[in-house]
Structure 1
Amino acid sequence: MSDPSGILLVDKPGGMTSHDVVARARRALDTRKVGHAGTLDPMATGLLVLGVGASTRLLTFIVGLDKTYEATIQLGISTSTDDAEGDVTAWAPANGVTDAEIRAGVDALTGTIDQVPSAVSAIKVDGRRAYDRVRAGEQVELAARTVTVSRFEVQHTRRGATDADGAPIEVIDLDVVVDCSSGTYIRALARDLGASLGVGGHLTALRRTRIGPFLVADGAEVDDMTAARLLAPAAVATAVLGAVPVTGEEARDLRHGKRLLGAADRLLSGTAAIDPDGRLVGILERRGNDLKSAMNMAEGS
C-alpha cells in the first residue's frame, strides 16, 4: 500500500496549536510526512492547510496565498500580546469614539500599508522566534513590513460590556472581516486601530475562513482527518497555479529532466503540468523559449 499523498483542509478548533493538529494528522494517516502552510495561534480557529506525503512539496506554493479572516477587535483595552491571551497593559474609556472615527481608522489601515508585526509573533530574530524572546523577558522590536489589506470591513459594532465581576466597562467590540496578503497580522490591525483612536485595542477572537481558493467550509474536523479527505495533488496544483496539459511522452520527458522545446507560450494557461491520466507531473518554469519542470512529483503520488 502506497503512502498517502494529498492536501488536507482542516478546521482547527480553539485551544489547539497548529503543531497539535499536525501531530494528530500524522497519527490518523499513519505517516510522519505532514506539514502545514501557515500556523494559527492556539486562540484562533479556522482553516489549516496540511500537506501529506509527497504533496508537502506543494505547500511552498500555498503558503504565500492571500487569506480571509473573521475577527473581533475590542477597543479600549490594550494587552501585552495584542490579543486576549496577554496581560492588560492599558485601559481607556472608548464609548466616546464615534462610528465615523472608527471608519476613518479602518480606512487608514486598508490598502497597502507598512505594518509592524506583534512582538509575540513567530518571526525569527537572530535565529530565535520573537515570541520566545519576549517570554524570556527580552525587549523585541520588529521591523515594519509592507502588506496589503484589500478589505477591512466592520460588520457589527457593540458598545459597552461587563468584566468578570459583572461591572460595566466602556469598550467597543467590532466584528470585522479582513482580506489580506500573506504575512499580515490581524492582531497588529487591532493594536494599530486602537492606537489611532487613542484608546488602545486588542483581538478577542480570530477565525481564518480562506487561504487562496480553499475554504474552511470544506475543512475536516480534527476527528475526521482521513485519507478520504485528501485533495489530489493535481486538483490542488490546478486550483492554485493553473493547468498545462501535457502528453504522455511529454510527461515522461519532464520527469526525466528534459525540456519541452519551444513550449514556453503554454505557460499562459498555468504552470502545473497535468498528464493525460490527470496526474500532476510537476511545476513548470520557463527556460528561454522552452519549458522545464522546476519541481517533479513522484509518478505514483
Structure 2
Amino acid sequence: MPRGEGPPGRSDPARHLLRVAVGERGDPVADRGTARPPRRPTAPDGLLIVDKPAGWTSHDVVGRCRRLAGTRKVGHAGTLDPMATGVLVVGVGRATKLLTYVVGADKAYRATIRLGVSTTTDDAEGETLEARGVGEGVDPAALGRQVAALTGDIRQVPSTVSAIKVDGRRAYARARAGEEVELADRPVTVSSFEVLESRPATADDGVAVLDVDVEVVVSSGTYVRALARDLGEALGVGGHLTALRRTRVGGYPLDRARTLEELEAQADADGVLATLPLGDAARSTFPVRELTDAEARALGYGQWVTPTGMRGTVAGLAPDGTLVALLEDTTRRGERRAKPVLVLAPA
C-alpha cells in the first residue's frame, strides 16, 4: 500500500500531510538500529496502534516493537510505505492471530496529489516521467467530475512498485531491476473521495502544478498512489502522490495511535508495554457475541455452541470480557450452530 519531515503535533490532522524533503529528518536507520540489551517479555498479548513516522518501513516499526515487547511474536496488519505516516496496527503475542482480519478492513487516508507531473512510482520518490504542467490551472468542475468517476466500485491497475507478486517476484523488485512490469486491473472500492483544498504551486523544474489535498476511504488492496496517477491522467495533465497519512484502519482511528517515542517512554516508566487487550481489540474488529460461562467453557474445548445469528466472523467474549474464540455460524447435520474457527482462550 501507499508509502521527510517528521509529522507535527497530532491536534490538527490536516497538518500531518507529509511534505517530501529528502534528508530533513536525518538518517532514521541509525536511530532504529541502536543496539540495546534485549528485554524479557514485558507486554501482554494485544494490539499496539502505532503512529508510524516518515522514513521508517512497516518492518522497522515491527522490529522496534519486538524490542519493546521483549518477544519476536509481533506482526503488523497492512503495510505503509516509508514515505507515509499514520496508523499501523501491530499485534503482540496471540493478537497476531487477529491481524488477518484487521488487514482486510477499510482504510482512511489524507493525501496530497500533485497534478501536472507524473512519476515512475506514482509518488514523489520516483523519477519524473512527464512534466506537462497545468497551464492556467485545472477547471474545478472537471476536477470534481473526475474525482466522482474514481469513487465507488472501480477497477484499478496497481502501481508498478507495489508488493504484488509477478511470477513469484514482487513487482517492485522487477521494476527496480529495470524489467517491464504489467499488472492486471482489479476491483477495488473507493467509498469516499473528497477534495479538501487545492492550491497552485511550482515544481522543482519550474512547471506550474496544482497541489490537491484529499481525504479518501478505500477498501483493502486499494493504492492511493494509483488514484493520484489515474486522476492526473483523466485530467490530461498527469499526477502523483506527494503526501500520505493513514488516519484509520477499520475500527482503529488515528486518535488511538501512539508514537514509537510514546510507547518507549511508557514501557520504560511502567516496566510493561501497555497493549490493547484482546477483548477490547475484538470489540473494535468484529461483531460480538456475549457468552455464558458454560458457552465460554465449551468453546475453550473447541465445542460448537448455539448460533450467533450474525454473518461472518464473530468474537465470542466471556462474561469477564476475555476473548475466548472467533465464531462462524454454519450448518451441521441439518442444524444451525456456531463453530469456533480460532480458539484464543483454551480450557
TM-score of Structure 1 vs Structure 2, range by shorter chain: over 0.9
CA separation in 1, counterparts of 2:246 and 2:201?
Answer: 26
| 1:116-127 to 2 correspondences below 5 Å | 116-127=157-168
Out of 239, 261, 264, the position equivalent to 1:223 is 261
Q: Structure 1 residues 198, 146: CA separation in 2 closer, same or farther (over 3 Å shift)?
A: same
The yes-or-no answer on 1:286 pairing with 2:308 is no
Cα RMSD after superposing both structures: 1.8
- 1:188 equivalent to 2:188? Answer no
* Correspondence for 2:201 among 139, 160, 163: 160
Q: Is contact 1:244-1:266 (8 Å) kept?
A: no
- Distance, in Å, in 1 between the alignment partners of 2:218 and 2:308 is 31
How many residues in Structure 1 have an aligned counterpart in Structure 2? 295
Q: Distance in 2 between matches of 1:160 and 1:62?
A: 38
Return the alpha-carbon distance in structure 2 between the equivalents of residues 228 and 29 of structure 1: 6
CA-to-partner distance for each residue in 1:159-187, whole Å, 9 max, x for gaps? 13252xxx743100000000111111000
Aligned to 1:5: 45
Contact 2:43 2:273 in 1 (8 A): no
Cα deviation, residue 129, structure 1: 1.1
Unaligned segments of structure 1, at least 5 residues: none
Identity fraction in percent: 52
Residue in structure 2 matched with residue 90 of structure 1 by the alignment: 130
Q: CA deviation at 1:268?
A: 6.9
1:179 and 2:217 matched: yes
The 5 Å alignment of 1:1-301 reads 4-96=44-136, 97-163=138-204, 168-225=206-263, 226=267, 227-260=272-305, 263-267=306-310, 271-288=314-331, 289-299=336-346
SS where residue 173 of structure 2 aligns?
helix
Note closer, same or farther for the CA distance 1:113–1:127 as it changes in structure 2 (3 Å cut).
same
**What letter is aligned with 1:213?**
G
The offset of 1:270, in angstroms, is 7.1
Which amino acid in 2 is paired with 1:67?
K
Give the CA deviation at 1:229: 3.5
Cα deviation per residue 1:229-266 (whole Å; 9 max; x = unaligned)?
31111111122112111122211211111111xx1144
Q: Contact 1:244 / 1:267 at 8 angstroms: preserved in 2?
A: no
Measure, in 2, the Cα distance between the counterparts of 1:219 and 1:286.
Answer: 33
Larger RCO, structure (CA 8 Å, separation 6 or more): 1
Is contact 1:243–1:270 with CA below 8 Å preserved after alignment?
A: no
SS of the residue aligned with 1:236? helix
What is the identity, as a one-letter code, of the residue corresponding to 1:274? L
Q: TM-score, normalised by structure 2?
A: 0.81
Q: Bigger CA drift: 63-72 or 127-136? A: 127-136
**1:147 maps to amino acid:** V
Provide the C-alpha distance between the structure 2 equivalents of 1:86 and 1:20, rounded to a whole number of angstroms: 22
Aligned-partner Cα distance in 1 for 2:120–2:131: 12
Q: 1:95, CA displacement in angstroms?
A: 3.4
Relative to structure 1, the CA distance from residue 33 to residue 93 in structure 2 (aligned partners, 3 Å threshold; closer, same or farther) is same
Q: Which runs of 4+ in 1 moved over 4 A?
A: none
Contact 2:46 2:94 in 1 (8 A): yes
SS at match of 1:229: coil
Q: Using the alignment, how far apart are the partners of 1:265 and 1:258 within structure 2?
A: 14
**Consecutive unaligned residues in structure 2, runs of 5 or more:** 1-40
> Do 1:150 and 1:180's aligned partners in 2 also have CA atoms closer than 8 Å?
yes
Residue 153 of structure 1 aligns to a residue whose secondary structure is strand
